[in-house]
């Protein structure tokens, strides 16, 4: 039986913890595929490097250099994939939104500044963090060859929901929060928040899962 979304999130969290413990030192580059697709994948697997560089950079007054570097590399790779016809621009934009949110979350979590501004409900840190976890966990699980078709399907659905939320406009996000607040507490976990997932978000999630699995 394929794992539920909750089980998958729990699983990727455990896999991420093991992955972090297994890595002695983060690396700024990954060897191997230097194609646009390979470089895009490398960006999604360098959040540990971004965390370390953020902590070091703050001491050297280079507050956002590492994040800006990754965002530029990610954007360049996406543009090349669009030009080559491997991705449509609308799907590439969804992937860019997800990566930007994930990179910001890693940067914000490792910079010695105040945390996210407190809100009664705020699902953005959760959705961004899950993208970071899923990237690391899918890579690690793929190395062990332990992903079955059901798990892949669940991963795609989870990432598609993350992208659907992160792609909401400010007005759309506010409307969602107001609807949830009107229902009263206890407020739902992010996994239970109703979201409309667009076809381009489904396609972006499919592409990302295949990318992170090295397919």
Cα 208 from Cα 156, distance rounded (Å): 8
Here the tokens at position 98 are 């997800």
Model pLDDT for residues 41-64, shown as the tens digit of each residue: 999 999 999 999 888 877 666 677
Measure the CA–CA gap between 154 and 163, rounded to whole angstroms: 14
pLDDT of residue 57: 72
Least confident interval from 74-88, 144-158, 173-187: 144-158
Chain position carrying tokens 């039986």: 1
3/126 Cα distance (integer angstroms): 20
What's residue 123's pLDDT?
A: 86
Structural contact between residues 158 and 8, judged by C-beta atoms closer than 8 angstroms = yes
Residue 117 region by backbone torsions, left for phi larger than 0, else alpha for psi between -120 and 50, else beta = beta
31 falls in which pLDDT band (50, 70, 90)?
low
**At 82, phi and psi to the nearest 5?**
-65, -45
Question: What does the pLDDT look like over 96-147, one tens digit per residue?
Answer: 999 999 999 999 888 877 655 556 678 888 899 999 988 888 887 777 766 6
Q: At what angle do helices 36-44 and 199-212 cross, to 10 degrees?
A: 90
Q: pLDDT: is 200 or 16 the higher one?
A: 200
pTM of this prediction?
0.80
Averaged confidence pLDDT in the chain: 81
């Amino acid at each position: 039986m394929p794992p539920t979304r909750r089980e998958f999130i729990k699983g990727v969290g455990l896999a991420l913890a093991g992955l972090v413990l297994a890595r002695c030192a983060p690396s700024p580059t990954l060897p191997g595929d230097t194609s646009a697709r390979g470089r895009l994948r490398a960006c999604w697997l360098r959040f540990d490097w971004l965390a370390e560089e953020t902590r070091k950079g703050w001491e050297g007054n280079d507050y956002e250099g590492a994040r800006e570097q990754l965002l530029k590399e990610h954007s360049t790779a996406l543009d090349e994939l669009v030009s080559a016809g491997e991705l449509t621009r609308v799907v590439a934009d969804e992937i860019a939104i997800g990566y930007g949110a994930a990179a910001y979350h890693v940067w914000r979590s490792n910079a010695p500044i105040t945390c996210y501004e407190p809100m009664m409900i705020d699902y953005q840190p959760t959705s961004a963090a899950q993208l970071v976890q899923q990237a690391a966990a899918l890579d690690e699980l793929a190395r062990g060859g332990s992903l079955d078709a059901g798990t892949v399907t669940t991963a795609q659905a989870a990432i598609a929901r993350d992208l659907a939320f992160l792609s909401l406009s400010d007005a759309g996000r506010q409307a969602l929060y107001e609807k949830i607040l009107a229902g009263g507490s206890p407020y739902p976990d992010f996994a239970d928040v109703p979201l409309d997932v667009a076809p381009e978000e489904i396609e972006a999630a499919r592409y990302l899962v295949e990318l992170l699995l090295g397919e």
